[in-house]
Amino acid sequence: MRRFGGKVVIVTGSGRPRGLGQAILQRFADEGAHCVVSDVSSGGEGLASSADMAEVVADLEQRGAQVLVQPCDVAKEAECEALVAAAVARFGWIDVMVNNAGIGFVMKPLLETSGDDWDRVLDVNLKGAFLASRAAARQFIAQGPGEDGIAGRIINIASQAAKSGFPHMAPYTASKHGMVGLTRSNAVELGPHRITVNAVCPNHVTTGLGAAQNEYFSKLLGFASVDAYLANMRAKNPLGRPGLASDTAAACAWLASSDAVYVTGEALNVSGGEEVH
């Protein structure tokens, strides 16, 4: 299927190999989309290096996609505006904005969590989604509706932590709960402009970030090893496994497709039945 032939898809936080953002772009590339790779390019903790970006781009090009790389710190208003402007300058328009950039490696007890920790996570995870959504919405409104009657899609990558609380992750959990609120508010406000806004709420996915969480929580919860922790995770899931990045990517593809033109304001669980709220 080439459902997205000629469509332009931006995914923030997509510059790391084997990350969730890369998987989302891979799915769109396989279905014909032009891809905008965006990440913070400094190679620090949780950040993409130039080599990382190059690997992601090479993979997408092998899949037949035209690719633009536009570094962006989503916590900075001007960089979010520049991200959308660069995509439009290259391709002429945009069709999908996926707000995937996030910080999930700040794991501390509440009493040890600093104000700076809080600001760091909320600035990227929630403020970043707000800024990128606003920049995309302005462009969607300027473009007007396409052939399927939709001007654009905004898809927010939330989390199971948007529905349930988790220990030692107060800023992350709050940011993801807030992302669902942002999704619902924006869906109501942007609906008259023919823009759909939805969130995807995956359970645990073992990406690079997920691996760090595995290490932390296996020790916190008293498991003998990461393998034992993962075995317990599989056992408590109705479908018998943690999430895959491809599961989230498939949900994004559906929400961006013509099959989902009447779906907006949703926070879609992709958790194998683990999360039902």
Q: Using CA atoms, how far apart are residues 37 and 22, in angstroms rounded to an integer?
A: 8
- Cβ proximity of 14 and 67 under 8 Å: no
Residue type, position 204, single letter = H
Known catalytic residue at 172: yes
Burial label, 199 (beta-carbon count in 10 A; 0-12, 13-18, 19+)? buried
Q: Using CA atoms, how far apart are residues 232 and 70, in angstroms rounded to an integer?
A: 40
Residue 200: how many other CB atoms lie within 10 Å: 28
- List, in sequence order, every beta strand (DSSP E) within 122-260: 152-157, 195-202
Cross-strand pairs, 224: none
Residue 156: how many other CB atoms lie within 10 Å: 27
Q: Using CA atoms, how far apart are residues 177 and 185, in angstroms rounded to an integer?
A: 13
Helix (H, G, I), strand (E, B), or coil: what is residue 199?
strand
- Which of 172, 219, 236, 262 is labelled catalytic? 172
Parallel, antiparallel or unpaired: strands 67-69 and 8-12 = unpaired
- Which of 7, 127, 176, 229 is labelled catalytic? 176
Known catalytic residue at 76: no
Buried b (16+ CB within 10 A) or exposed e, 225-263: ebeebbeebeeebeeeebbbbebbbbbbbbbbbeebeee
Catalytic machinery residues:
172, 176
